Structure 1
Amino acid sequence: MWESETDASAWMEVAHPELDGRTPHEAAATEEDAARVEALLWRLFYGVPG
């Protein structure tokens, strides 16, 4: 999905509305929210709207 590891790392540090305004890195702190991050990544990968 991203051109580089740097781009992917940058995405992890940007707040996202589907994660209640938290960054994916912050949201991944709990198992339940990590599953939300994973689901978001799959939707982005397959181009499925949230």
Structure 2
Amino acid sequence: MIGVRLHIAVRVKWDQTWSSMIVVLITTVITFMAISVPRLKPSNFIYTIRW
């Protein structure tokens, strides 16, 4: 019984770690896209800021 409980606890901890890693990964991708998209069209971005 103790071994089974330990296994379940480890499994839950592992799932939480993976989900948090996925969230971090998605956030990083979104941030990277937000940074790189204006660089693809720098002139449009600059005009948008000026006017």
Q: Scaled by the length of structure 1, what TM-score is found?
A: 0.36
Q: Which has the larger radius of gyration?
A: 2
Structure number having the greater helix percentage = 2
TM-score (norm 2): 0.35
